[in-house]
A and B are shown apart, each in its own frame.
Chain A
Amino acid sequence: MADGRDLSQGQEGYADRHLFRGRNLWGGFLFGLGLVAFIDETVFHQLLHWHHFYDKSTTDIGLVSDGLFHALSWFATIGSSFMLADLHRRHAFWLKRWVGGVFLGAGSFQLYDGVVQHKLMKLHQIRYNVDITPYDAVWNITAFAMIVVGFVLLVRNSFGQQEGKRNAR
């Protein structure tokens, strides 16, 4: 094992994580997507009972979109956990890029859910029998903010990557 570690880390301590930049980003992205879907399901569907399993105004395309994203989020949660384990196993985990991916994934999915699924496809609303505007605003602004945070983290770590390369040389 000791030999293996030498081989994988080599003289360039950070080399591995640059090789797996994409996997750090996408692993985080999928994890974020799964996380938001999980919070949506447990908090808004099961605990608060704000969201409905099915809304009489749900369009067919809404049903398809909901089904696909529900399935994708299940897969993303498990798949990204194994990707995370894989990055650690390769000594290639890059926390900031991964967290950037999490914010980007979480924000993108929440924005899609809030704008396309809730509003355009009328899957269900955030809450019923109340003025929905403030709920929608909080929902979508949070989503947008998460996307911005994600981008900032990722852009910063693109610069970090060049520094890393310079140091390695």
Chain B
Amino acid sequence: MHDNHISPDVNSLSIIFVPMVLALIAYIFAAYVSTLRFKKPWPVHRTMFWILGLLSASAAVMGPVAERAHTDFTLHMVGHLLLGMLAPLLLALAAPMTLVLRSLPVQHARKLTRFLKSAPVGILTNPIFTMVLNVGGMWIIYTTDLYIGMQQDLILHVLIHLHVFLAGYLFTISVIYIDTTPHRTSFVIRSVVMIIALAAHGMLAKYIYAYPPNGVTITQAERAGMLMYYGGDAIELILIFILCFQWYKSSRPRLILKNNETSARNSY
């Protein structure tokens, strides 16, 4: 049994450890630069979100959970929730792109903004595209032999983890607007996307419960399916709350604004 699985050695651990530490250092450095430049300090809670997000992603790819995830499908699912849902949400709440724009020299920041406004980025952050990327990718992993393949091939293993994380991050930033978001879609479209994504996630969870992927025992698949179902619910709950809260703030009745704000809005 064990021969089929990659034993996590020192090399594979350090491969993952290095970018995490770099991301942490880069963020803190940028926060420092931004604070110096703008007088107004970069919010501490954003830095906390960044640290928690990196910890969550790290927990999924190294340490005890990741180690046992190779043989225990339930823990694989814990890792999936951490890497594909919780870490992206926490990292998105840290607003890294806003921080980058604030800490770069103006010329470079302008170039970056132009890039963010470009059509390809528009497609990458389109909620319908990110939903297909995210949920479609998951369906393929768990309903084909890709799951057993990723346990045997290191490159496939790394690529799939990278896909799960990136697809999760793009999906998160395409439905809730915490960070700089040049390409925006309406609240209704994002709501529908959120409902379909959550539904597909729940369906896949029940599908895994009923039809375990190759190489997974029924008991493990049942526990993993329920974990995926309820764990996914919990994290989506936060996403839906933020989305609805943003609707609530943006749809505030204009007439109840303070006098000066009202006149400012009516002046153009």
Residue of A nearest to B200 (CB): A67
How far, in whole Å, are A1 and B209 apart by their CA atoms in the complex? 55
- Residue B158 lies at the interface, judged by CB distance under 8 Å to chain A: no
Chain A residues positioned under 8 Å from B199 (CB to CB): 64, 67-68, 70-72
Within 8 A of B (CB), among A1-24: 1, 3-5, 7-8
- Residue A85 lies at the interface, judged by CB distance under 8 Å to chain B: yes
Interface size range of chain A in the complex: 20 to 34
State which of A1, A67, A89 has its C-beta within 8 Å of the C-beta of B258: A1
- Residue B196 lies at the interface, judged by CB distance under 8 Å to chain A: yes
B196, B244, B257 interface centre (most CB from chain A within 10 Å): B244
State which of B191, B194, B225, B253 has its C-beta within 8 Å of the C-beta of A8: B253
Contact A8 B255 (CB under 8 A): yes
Looking at A75-83, A113-121, A136-144, A150-158, the stretch in contact with chain B turns out to be A75-83
Q: How far is the CB of A138 from chain B (nearest CB, A)?
A: 27
- Residue B198 lies at the interface, judged by CB distance under 8 Å to chain A: yes
Contact B256 A5 (CB under 8 A): yes
Chain A residues positioned under 8 Å from B252 (CB to CB): 89
- Residue A74 lies at the interface, judged by CB distance under 8 Å to chain B: yes
Contact A79 B258 (CB under 8 A): no
Residue of A nearest to B251 (CB): A86
Chain A residues positioned under 8 Å from B200 (CB to CB): 67
- Residue A54 lies at the interface, judged by CB distance under 8 Å to chain B: yes
How far, in whole Å, are A74 and B244 apart by their CA atoms in the complex? 12
Looking at B77-85, B118-126, B235-243, the stretch in contact with chain A turns out to be B235-243
- Residue B248 lies at the interface, judged by CB distance under 8 Å to chain A: yes
Contact A4 B257 (CB under 8 A): yes
Interface of A, helix, strand, loop or mixed by DSSP: helix
State which of A53, A81, A90 has its C-beta within 8 Å of the C-beta of B206: A53
Q: How far is the CB of B210 from chain A (nearest CB, A)?
A: 5
- Residue A40 lies at the interface, judged by CB distance under 8 Å to chain B: no
Q: How far is the CB of A90 from chain B (nearest CB, A)?
A: 5
Chain B residues positioned under 8 Å from A5 (CB to CB): 256
Contact A70 B256 (CB under 8 A): no
How far, in whole Å, are A53 and B205 apart by their CA atoms in the complex? 10
For the complex, count residues of B whose C-beta is within 8 A of A. 35
Residue of B nearest to A92 (CB): B253
Over the window 183-202 of chain B, the binary record of Cβ atoms lying under 8 Å from chain A Cβ atoms (1 yes, 0 no) is: 00000000100111111101
Chain B residues positioned under 8 Å from A64 (CB to CB): 199, 203
Chain B residues positioned under 8 Å from A8 (CB to CB): 253, 255-256
- Residue B233 lies at the interface, judged by CB distance under 8 Å to chain A: yes
- Residue A95 lies at the interface, judged by CB distance under 8 Å to chain B: no
How far, in whole Å, are A72 and B255 apart by their CA atoms in the complex? 32
How far, in whole Å, are A54 and B197 apart by their CA atoms in the complex? 20
Contact B206 A66 (CB under 8 A): yes
Within 8 A of A (CB), among B209-262: 209-210, 225-226, 229, 233, 236-237, 240-241, 244-245, 247-248, 251-253, 255-259, 262
Chain A residues positioned under 8 Å from B196 (CB to CB): 68, 71
Residue of A nearest to B192 (CB): A75
How far, in whole Å, are A90 and B256 apart by their CA atoms in the complex? 8
- Residue A63 lies at the interface, judged by CB distance under 8 Å to chain B: yes
How far, in whole Å, are A63 and B229 apart by their CA atoms in the complex? 13
Contact B256 A63 (CB under 8 A): no
Contact A75 B206 (CB under 8 A): no
Chain A residues positioned under 8 Å from B236 (CB to CB): 71, 74
- Asked whether A63 and B259 contact (CB < 8 A) given A53-B226, A74-B198, A89-B252, the answer is no
How far, in whole Å, are A81 and B245 apart by their CA atoms in the complex? 10
Contact A82 B195 (CB under 8 A): no
- Residue B129 lies at the interface, judged by CB distance under 8 Å to chain A: no
Residue of B nearest to A55 (CB): B210
Contact A82 B198 (CB under 8 A): no
- Residue B207 lies at the interface, judged by CB distance under 8 Å to chain A: yes
- Asked whether A75 and B195 contact (CB < 8 A) given A54-B206, A67-B200, the answer is yes
